[in-house]
Amino acid sequence: MRCLVANWKMNLLSASAGAFCDALLADPSLAGSSGCQLGIAPPFTLLKQVSEAVRGRRISVFGQNARAEAEGAYTGDISMAMLKDAGCAGVILGHSERRRLGGETDALLAAKLQAAWDAELLPLLCIGETLEEREAEQTFPVLQRQLSILGPKPGPLWIAYEPVWAIGTGRRAEAKQIQEAHAYIRAELMTRMDEAAWRVPILYGGSVAPDNFAELLQIPEVAGGLVGGASLDPAKFMAMAKTAAKTEE
């Protein structure tokens, strides 16, 4: 199955989010497609609106982040249960911007993973190396460390490999680099999950756009994309969704 998730980050307001959903749902070939599982990760303020707009369609809503704690005095934060209550089916965890700007550690993310499973949310775990780590030939050790938080019996999961140096830079990893990283991730999942590892889609995230998405989907083990900037334009997102549906694995 192909997967395509729009990460809107800190973008869009109610009117533009509504227009996006209207455009997406106006195309029945996308809204009802069995060839590609679509996801949208809006800002917290738009979760309820987007969830209600896509209810009953093959489009899942993801939170962009959440705390591990169920409740408490955490001003400005949001819990997994709150995401669920707003209509979310999943949550993005470990995005490089949260690791870099929010100082999120592997230990913290391990707690968030468990909290997501406890809340019956699907975690989309982002992993990937910085340019310095890539140049020091530390890509595989970094990926191994980041995947070690899964523990011996992980629950339902999606993975997004996002080389940090290729996010929002217009710079893309080479096909060989992506294939090697995705193959390594699959092998690591097999050691932790046995046959269940084959049910975990591994998405690619790093300057994904309509003009390179078809090529990315030809790379072994690339099940889809986690899309940033290009996902703010419904026409671009729909173009990538149609490409994914046509190349269903």
Q: Looking at the annotation, which residues are catalytic?
A: 95, 162
Q: Report how far residue 130's alpha carbon sits from residue 149's, in angstroms, rounded to the nearest whole number.
A: 19
Angle at 115 between CA 109 and CA 119, to 5 degrees: 145
Number of Cβ within a 10 Å radius of residue 9: 17
Q: What angle do CA 239, 98, 45 make, to 5 degrees?
A: 65
**Cα gap 80→15, rounded to integer Å:** 26
- DSSP secondary structure string, 76-107? T--BHHHHHHTT-SEEEE--HHHHHHS---HH
Residue 139: in which H helix or E strand, if any?
Answer: helix 139-147
Q: Which helix (H) or strand (E) holds 111?
A: helix 106-118
Which H or E run contains 124? strand 122-127
